[in-house]
Structure 1
Amino acid sequence: MTFAYQQKEPEKFATFLKRQKMIFIVAFLGYVCAYLVRNNFKLMSKSIMVTNGWEKADIAMLLSCLTISYGLAKFYMGALGDRVDLRKLFAICLGASAVICITIGFYHTSILTLAVLLVLCGVVQGALAPASQNMIANYYPNKTRGAAIAGWNISQNMGSALLPMMIAMMTTMGFIVPSTGNVLMAFLVPAVLVLLFAVFCWKFGGDAPEKEGLDSLRTMYGDAGESNVASEEEKHNLGYWQLISKYVFLNPALLLVAAVNVALYFVRFGIEDWMPIYLHEVAKMGDAESHMAISILEWVAIPGSLVFAWLAVKYPNKMAKMGAIGLFIMAGIVFAYEYVTASGAPNYPLLLVICGILGALIYGPQLIVNILTINFVPLNVAGTAIGFVGVTAYLIGNMGANWIMPIMADNFGWFWSYVVIAALSAFSAVGYLILAKHEEKTIKA
């Protein structure tokens, strides 16, 4: 079908391919930018706390304002993305994030002011992941959609790593002096860069090919253009609420994807967020050693994600099986991590290797959630689906890891905390195996 369309409409198809590449650039770099103006307060919170004479509980409350508002916003801003122009939504919310970040840099001496600003930050940031993924979904057919989403997923790791590097560099150069509370540049410099890129997103972002005078994916690629979830008649005749009721809230496959994502978020944050305390208490490591272990986990996640992106190109309708294999291995690696550190004097090079494998197997299988979410729903409700799967993971998986991991560690020991993580890895793997047949039926590559 693609070749026939290319022969019939060569200029149109060439224009589409150019736009396809530009859409990925906007979505990828735009989401890197999202991270440059999201966690600035978190990274500078110690300096702000000491300068203002606040307690740790004050900082925890402020961070919760961002976490909860962001988690909830992923759902309702994702739903909004299905009803408005994605290009405008993404650019406006990215620009608003930058403005809020700058404002925090100037006004961070009042808890109430910061709470309001962080809630607003969470709200506008909640639009960015669904909107960027939705843009990609609308421009990439079945065969390359998974690889594009997998490639986009790396933007999270890049953004997470880039902001601390920028702040460290400005601190070394004397533009930021945490000991005196001089932290303005940690907010101002990244935000100005992001504000400029938001203008780029406004100009070059996109919503759907049809809105630019191009043909739909199904017209260009036939059945290989979109997932075979809903008929064209259903997509155009059913109302929005009927569509999301049938294909989001009452879709068994999507509900299982959401359950898998909840478990994977628990695994991810149970390992990452508690690694510094665990390595300090159990492995008797200092800050520098534990920070290196976390950095290795984050950086190896990037090539790990690229491997899964390559698999998505090679096996576009078998990603659930790939995720299951990775997560069964992950369950074993979790026990290896606990075993190596339990002695109190771990083999440090071996520990770093294990942390790298953990990073690859946390982020690789998790990006498959994004692929399946988009593939299991009609594209015109993809934003709502992405938001729904995201909010459940954030509010149940992330917060569950924050509460259950320390309770298990204090009452039963760290070993049993990691038994829970290994069990959830295995649960996710089984979930992927159940979804594998549905994926092969839905996606015609």
Structure 2
Amino acid sequence: MTGRRLAAVPLAACLLLAVSGCPADGGPPEPSATSAAPRPALPTTASTDLPPYGGPPAGAPASVGPLTRVRAAVDLTPATPGVFARLVSAVATPDGGAYALLSPADRAAPQSLVSVAGNAVAGTVPLPRVDDVWGMHLLAGGSVAVAGRLGDEGYGVRVVDPATGAVRTTVVAPAGDGDRAADGRAALLVGASTLYLFFSVERDDGTSDVLASVDAATGQVLEVRDVGEDVAAASRYPVGGQLAGLVARPDGGATLVFDASPTDVAEDRIPTVLTFDADLAPVGEPVRVTDLAEGAETQSVAGAPDGTVFLVVAVRDGAWILGVQDGGGAGPLLAQLEDRVYGYALAVEPAQVWAVLPAPTGALAVDLTTGQTRGPLPVGCAPRLDVRDLYPAPGGALMIGECDTPREDTQLLWFLAP
């Protein structure tokens, strides 16, 4: 395996892509066929010809420090009395609270958007189901946008008012009879109104990779682009199940992160980023975060307000944390972890100094400037803890999961703090 140097001051990977293709005319794009004419050989070396990530940017907010305590642990069972529901997503609010999305085991029942204040459930409103939630975001007016597969309606976003329960649905692309599977992600900058969605839909006649933008405040679909040709500049296969993340850019547009397969062997993958502008036009070339020989596969992705992309990638001897500034290329490691099992979720503070990942007993803090770890932080679950995801929050992070304390399969929301 090609060795990597752990930088004392972060300098890591990546940017994003582009290549050819015209923006769509507003309607759902036609699927791109998986059986195309043979293409030229694709590069397999890391993209080191662009500026590497150089650590926390000038003007970044002050770091809050490592997350070493649980400020509150909220049992969400009272939100769905008599109904077992799993906690599938959450988003923090500026006042220290959160909204949580609970999905009942009975698929005929609606989901519940739960308001959390302090350390208790403060209210609940129903939400028509969003299957395979791709992202949950707080809008400037206080509504919550939930993106994903909208059952038989297709793929898009529901915006719900947590106070009244009023729901507005935007379908970006309708479902087709031949749809077999879909993977997607959504991204929104805090305070912005343009929501970006990427989804890769496997159909009977091929797989289509679609990037779209939606005005979340009005529900208007702004742009829809088939990015199959852009993906093909980095991979011989559509994105599909190799989708890793989507990060909104500060000047508009989004960064797509996936594991590309540049050779005919689909399992030989490279963590890759493609960049698109506000009109969804590609920017630059595909950026390969690692070399093919390093055998890396992306486990999780987190974004920063300045468009920096952070990745946890699994390698043969553990996991690496890499950073990619907006418009940059591959660079040194920020941190190296011995355990690759718990790299499936990542949250990074706006200061870009401390990150937090799941751990067997709770959460693990990682200093992105030195590579050192702090913790793990225990959350008091026994005998079983299942951390489902992590999200940024003012002054800390949210963690969601399932705990066998105080009862089996308890759905819990943790507020992590320094």
Q: Which one has the bigger strand percentage?
A: 2
TM-score category by the smaller chain?
under 0.3
Q: Which one has the bigger helix percentage?
A: 1
